[in-house]
Structure 1
Amino acid sequence: METDATYPLNLTNVPYSDTSSLNTLSVYLPRPPVPNDPERLFLIYIHGGAWRDPLIEASSFQQTQDNLLSLASPQITDSISGIATINYRLSPYPSHPTSPSNPHDPARNARHPDHITDVLTAILHLQEKYSFGSRYLLIGHSCGATLALQVAMKRYWGSQYESTLALELNVEPPIAIMGVEGIYDILGLVEENAAQPIYRDLMVNAFGTDARVWEDASPARGDLEDGWQEGRLVVIVHSEEDELVGMQHAEGMWKALGEQGFAEEMGSERRREFVRLNGLKHDEVWEDGKEFAKIILKTVEDVLELDSKN
């Protein structure tokens, strides 16, 4: 607890692990945190970048965060206990034009389950420090959406990843998840884009060549009904103009949620929402940040409404 701090408080490049230089996070605290506060919600963001892009990091959420804080009503502002953004180890990218990866750099040579292990470690660090338990909205863009839903997919990685499973069991899953321009079916995305080898190359780079691992790591093929009993709300956000991940991919995740007990009706114990954006390409959603911020604020309101009916 930052006892002598001045609020609002911005903390940057906070290490949550000594595994690599990328195991850091940033935290914004509008007021002194209250442990186990039942009336507030912590927001946690996981960036995208195809598991490998060094130019897309936790700071990519700043524009959205600035819009969020400027647009929020006093009631919603008071309902946010903090905002955290997570960096995690990246897969190799030796051909990057300005920042090629070095094969000896532990921060730039990750392979599944390293990415999700880092995200879980970061969330556990935040939960232990700020004691918000499951009262958080986990937000992910692109592969960050994959990682966000993987947090809720208990036991998805199989027995070969028991050390990661042991860590995951110490992490309280979130009450709500938002996936933005997300990758939900790794094998399906590769098959949809068979004419573009870059998609397969990206998945091999991050997950290896075993298609069974791709399937196990895909939220659209995972167990969110029994494995994530704490979950109350999933929001799928996708733009019609996304040039990298087609709308049908988000619709597939939406269908999978429906098959696993997430309903559309207001007042349902476990809800799913689909938000269609227009006029924004894949990365423009966070580069612009305005519509993204509005959706986050609406989701905070929805979670609070679910609380009031519980």
Structure 2
Amino acid sequence: MGDTDSYPRFRQHVGYSDESSLNTLDVCIPHPPTGDKKQVWIVFIHGGAWLDPEIDSSSFKKTQDLLLASHQSDTIAGLASINYRLSPNPSHPRDPSNPSDPARNAKHPDHINDVLAAILYLQETYHFEDRYILAGHSCGATLAFQVAMKRYWGSQYESTFALELNVVLPLAVVGVEGLYDLTALVKHHSGESEYRDFVSNAFGSDERVWVAVSPTSGEYEESWPDGRVVVLAHSREDELVEWEQVDLMERALKAQGWDGASTERRLDLIELKGKHDQVWEEGKELARAIEAIMELVKAVM
């Protein structure tokens, strides 16, 4: 982290596996480690429909700066933002993918495997175990809940558990402008072919796989018994992802005992302001969602 005593300390483009040039993450340590078990890590997963090369770990920077300046900064042990391999995007106007580039030709389960590998690297390096909040924007929210689902699904629909990687699951997950039911998402946008295209690009054309990997299909009572808090943060001004996705995820979680009044499995909804990418581009709304879940986590630790 450096030889000086100055904080915060930053590390960028840290490699967590040798799969590709995109298997990196950024880390910030805001202050000298104290060993305080009440402090938590914030781990962020960016969005971009699993394929946009212009959205990466740096999309967390403005939010991170706001969190470092907030009244809750003393309760943050560290922050990390994860890059992962992207699906093919050969028609991108500025940065088309090359078929020979392993960083830009990912298919499920490559994305979730990378996220799990990144979390494992962080846990083995910084030893925070379950004391972290996993935050994701758009498809990053999908990936965050797939971590909590503790499995991915291969072509034969056989489950493989994240525990094989010794990943300790988080205390809390916050989904921001998230994609939670892929089949419903594509159906809602049936007149817009790009939605079917990017889902098929990431998961293949078999809609049974879309159902299996969707966070609304998670069996969280079994897969994430120690999960304490979920926040679904969404803007009604989102021009790309409809509020129906929140409704479907809320219904799925409530059916498994998550509730706004619960002390065991707390579920809160937060209405944000702004368009789909505006919430992270400006940082304020994404920071507000993370600050809200930090308050809830503080109450259960």
TM-score (ref. length: structure 1): 0.92
| Residue aligning to 1:52 | 51
- Does residue 154 of structure 2 align to residue 155 of structure 1? no
1:282 to 262, 266, 276: 276
Q: How far 1:248 sits from its partner (Å)?
A: 1.1
Matches within 5 A, 1:187-226: 187-226=183-222
Residues 249 and 147 (structure 1), Cα distance of their counterparts in 2 relative to 1, 3 Å cut: same
Corresponding residue for residue 66 of structure 1: 65
User: Residues 151 and 160 of structure 2 are in contact (CA less than 8 Å); yes or no, is this contact kept in structure 1?
Assistant: no
With over 3 angstroms needed to count, the CA separation of the structure-2 counterparts of 1:100 and 1:156, relative to structure 1, is: closer
Identity percentage of aligned residues? 56
1:70-113 Cα shifts (integer Å, max 9, x gaps): 2x11xx21110000000000000000000000000000000000
Instruction: Measure how far apart 1:196 and its partner are.
Output: 1.2
Q: Secondary structure of the equivalent of 1:295?
A: helix
Moved more, 158-167 or 84-93: 158-167
Deviation at 1:212, TM superposition (A): 1.2
- Number of equivalenced pairs: 300
Q: d(CA) in 2 for partners of 1:77 and 1:28?
A: 12
Do structure 1's residue 304 and structure 2's residue 298 form an aligned pair? yes
Pick from 160, 172, 177 the counterpart of residue 176 of structure 1: 172
Q: What does the per-residue CA deviation read over 1:111-135, in whole Å, with 9 as the maximum and x for residues that have no partner?
A: 0000000000000000000000000
Q: CA deviation at 1:21?
A: 0.1
Task: Output aligned runs, 1:68-83, within 5 Å.
Answer: 68-70=67-69, 72-73=70-71, 76-83=72-79
Instruction: Indicate conservation of the 8 Å contact 2:177/2:241, yes or no.
Output: yes
**How far apart are 1:263 and its partner, in Å?**
1.2
**Secondary structure, in 3 states, of the residue corresponding to 1:237?**
strand
Q: Which of 102, 111, 125 is the matching residue for 1:106? A: 102
Provide closer, same or farther for how the CA distance between residues 194 and 159 of structure 1 changes in structure 2, counting only shifts above 3 A: closer
Aligned to 2:124: 128
Is there any run of 5+ residues in structure 2 with no aligned partner, and where?
Answer: none
Q: Alignment RMSD, CA only?
A: 1.8
- Runs of 4+ that moved beyond 4 A: 158-164, 166-169
Deviations 1:193-223 (A, max 9, x none): 1111111111110001111111111001121
Match of 1:272 in 2: 267
Corresponding residue for 1:38? 37
Q: Distance in 1 between matches of 2:4 and 2:253?
A: 42
Structure 2 residue matching 1:11: 3-state secondary structure: strand
Give the aligned partner of residue 233 of structure 2.
Answer: 237
User: 2:42 is paired with a residue of what secondary structure?
Assistant: strand
Gaps of 5+ in 1: none
Alignment of 1:146 onto 2:142: yes
CA contact (8 A) 2:117 2:165 kept: no
How far apart, in 1, do the equivalents of 2:162 and 2:140 lie?
A: 22
From the superposition, tell whether residues 160 and 166 of structure 1 become closer, same or farther in structure 2 (CA, over 3 Å).
farther
Which letter does structure 1 place at the counterpart of 2:283?
Answer: G
TM-score of the superposition, structure 2-length normalised?
0.95
> Residue 4 of structure 1: CA displacement?
3.4
